[in-house]
């Protein structure tokens, strides 16, 4: 949808702006419920839960920058994430390889030579979503979302990287966790932030994949090993979504939320 002229958040030129999504529209489609009466996904926001077709969006980016995001990461990542019917290309690719490290609850894979994965596209996609969350004041259902903040220094570093005018910020490390749960929980969660060991840890997920960004001056020293953009290689993790702290926070948010009247009615019918 177009028709709004303003300054694009990424290229900072005055152009016609699109109704840009915080998370790609494809993530909402994958989270739709298999129900004839109301297939819309359940959305939990600010202490409320409801089924809705509305998405978190704003007139923020021009068409050229939107296309850049799609071409440089979004299209490929969503082609490989979990999809209805059981297809999960990324997990299948990792499953054909031998892990370089095996823990009690995880496996780590070196993915540099797996051409189907396109490491740079995963890094770019993760950076685009984290940057969007920090660079704009997003609202949903009339309420401002509590998301993340990079601060002016890192926000500008990420903007230049996304434009192709700078390398990925030196003090940032991206981790990718590929869910090994079966069946997959088709959950999408917008970026959120935690402080861990003195640095910021930002997270979001799309069905089948959690993206994690550590950002701060101590990150290259503390969080380089096994990152997707590590100085020692390119790594992805296979682990259980149900064990992730983001999953636990999401469950707590659901428990603390007030369901809409339509959602309560649906629960009663099922009961």
What pTM does this model have?
A: 0.89
Q: Where are the domains of the chain?
A: 4-270
pLDDT digits (tens, 9 = 90+) for 135-188: 999 988 778 888 899 999 999 999 999 999 999 999 999 999 999 999 888 888
Kindly state the tokens that stand for 75.
């299209």
End-to-end CA distance of the chain: 40
- pLDDT tens-digit profile of 184-209? 888 888 899 988 877 889 999 999 99
Higher pLDDT, residue 91 or 144:
91
pLDDT tens across 41-77, in order? 555 555 655 455 578 899 999 999 999 999 999 999 9
- The DSSP code for 114 is -
DSSP 117: T
- Start-end of H helices in the chain: 25-30, 63-69, 75-80, 89-95, 119-135, 152-163, 219-222, 245-256, 261-270
Quick check: helix, strand or coil at residue 249?
helix
């Amino acid at each position: 949808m177009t028709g709004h002229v303003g300054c694009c958040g990424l290229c900072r030129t005055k152009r016609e702006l699109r109704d840009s999504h915080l998370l790609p529209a494809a993530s909402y489609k994958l989270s739709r419920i298999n129900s004839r009466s109301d297939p819309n996904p359940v959305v939990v926001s600010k202490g409320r839960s409801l089924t809705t077709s509305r998405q978190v969006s704003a007139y923020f980016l021009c068409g050229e920058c939107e296309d850049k995001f799609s071409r440089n990461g979004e299209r490929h990542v969503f082609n490989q994430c979990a999809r209805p019917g059981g297809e999960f290309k990324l997990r299948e690719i990792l499953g054909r390889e031998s892990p370089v490290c095996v823990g009690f609850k995880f496996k780590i894979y070196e993915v540099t030579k797996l051409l189907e994965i396109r490491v740079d596209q995963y890094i770019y996609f993760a950076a685009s979503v984290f940057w969007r969350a920090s660079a704009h004041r997003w609202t949903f259902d009339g309420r401002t979302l509590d998301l993340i903040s990079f601060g002016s220094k890192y926000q500008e570093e990420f903007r230049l990287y996304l434009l192709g005018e700078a390398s990925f910020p030196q003090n940032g490390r991206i981790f990718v966790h590929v869910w090994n749960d079966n069946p997959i929980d088709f959950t999408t969660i917008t970026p959120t932030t935690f402080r861990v060991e003195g640095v910021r840890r930002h997270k979001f997920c799309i069905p089948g994949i959690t993206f994690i960004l550590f950002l701060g001056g101590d990150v290259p020293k503390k969080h380089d090993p096994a990152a997707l953009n590590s100085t020692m290689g390119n790594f992805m993790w296979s682990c259980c979504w149900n064990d992730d702290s983001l999953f636990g926070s999401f469950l707590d948010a659901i428990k603390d939320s007030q369901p809409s009247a339509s959602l309560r009615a649906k629960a009663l019918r099922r009961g």
